[in-house]
Every structure is written in structure tokens, then in C-alpha cells.
Amino acid sequence: NAGVTQTPKFQVLKTGQSMTLQCAQDMNHNSMYWYRQDPGMGLRLIYYSASEGTTDKGEVPNGYNVSRLNKREFSLRLESAAPSQTSVYFCASTDDRTSGANVLTFGAGSRLTVL
Amino acid sequence: GDSVTQMEGPVTLSEEAFLTINCTYTATGYPSLFWYVQYPGEGLQLLLKATKADDKGSNKGFEATYRKETTSFHLEKGSVQVSDSAVYFCALSDRGTNAGKSTFGDGTTLTVKP
């Protein structure tokens, strides 16, 4: 049971470099999310995708782009990395087509450092 | 908008001590409430949840009751273990469209000493 798989786990970038964080889920979930976690600030939503082919901005989208490649995969791209983007990034998914509480399943996280 | 306020940490307890982590929320609708736990080096995972007023969520000896009148969802455990050392997040999600968009508290770090 893989659940949500994120790559890479660790990455160091120089200011201005670009990179893509990959996320894949094998639970047939319709919705996928990218969060960032910073000390003392909880998790903040960057972008989400309610279904294949749709994406929407969350709380902190500036400096990021996303692609919902298919139902399983949701990537996050930093076009020109800045030190303020140093963070731990989490991908999550859920099936919110059903009524009731929508529990998020998280990946293990990707720790990004921008020098 | 929605918000979640958690008791500030860090919290340090001795093994077998009683744990309470306070959580209050502000929401325009009638949200579902969650506690997630993050062990060192891992992603968040669901600890327990409640979907309506007076519901009690429970798991691994942890409990939390959905109190609509006080807009609270405090986490409790009667006797903590060293293995409970982790960061605990209170969260809510709406019941409408995109219900999976959750609002998280800042997290409370718990350290349990033998």
C-alpha cells in the first residue's frame, strides 16, 4: 500500500534555479493538494486540484505552478526558487465526492532548501 | 475565513502523565474536525475525527469531543507514553465543495520523557 509518494525527499537549490516536486497517489482519490510547512505556522495550502484537469490557488500560490498530469499525479514547480521557499512540502489527497469527513492522506514530505 | 487556534507548545510531560492540548475553531459553516499527528521525519496522519456536535473521536487512547457551543475540540489522553512524542495538529474542513481543503492549526510539539 504505497498511498501518497513524493519525490525527491531532499533537495538543495540555488536562488533562481527551477525544480519540480512530484507526487503520485494510488488510492483513486479525486482531489490532490500541495501544502508547505514552516516552523510555527502549521500547514498552508499552495494549490489544489479537485479533479483531473482542474487546478486552483490556495492560500500561498505565488512563485509556484502546478500540473495535474492525470488522476494519479500532481506536480509542483518552482520556476525561479527564492530563499523564502525554503520549507517542507507535503502532497496530500482525498476522495471528497462522498459525504462525510474528508480525511487527507499525506506523503512523507520533501525538504527543500534554497540558498 | 475559517481558522484554528491551538495551544502553544512545546509541551513536555513525564510518562504516564495526563495530556490535554486545547483547540478552538472559527468556521462559517458546520465543519468536520480532525486531529492529525506527525512523527519525526514523517508526513501527517489522521489520529481521530468528529463530524457533528457531541461526537467523540477516539484512537490509540486519545480522545476529543466536538463541542459546538464552545467551538472547541480539545485532545486528551489519560496516560502518555514516550512513543506519543510527536507534533499534533488540529484541523477542520468544510462540508461543501472541495471539502478536502482543510485549515490547520500551527501544531503543538509534545515530548514525553521516561
CB–CB contact A4 B43 (8 Å):
yes
Q: Indicate the residue of B43, B100, B106 with minimum beta-carbon distance to A108.
A: B43
- Output the DSSP codes for A61-105: -TTEEEEE-SSSBEEEEESS--GGG-EEEEEEEE--SSSS----E
> What is chain A's Cα-based Rg?
14
Q: Give the pLDDT confidence of A56-99 residue by residue, as tens digits.
A: 999 999 999 999 989 999 999 999 999 999 999 999 999 877 66
CB–CB contact A106 B44 (8 Å):
yes
* pLDDT average per 10 residues of sequence, chain B (114 residues): 88 97 91 94 93 94 96 97 96 74 91 96
Residue B38 and residue B87 in contact, taking contact as beta carbons nearer than 8 Å:
yes
CA A68 to chain centre: 11
Q: How many angstroms separate the CA of residue B14 from the nearest CA in chain A? A: 24
Contact of A2 with chain B, judged by CB distance below 8 Å, is answered with no
For position A4, what pLDDT does the model report? Answer: 95
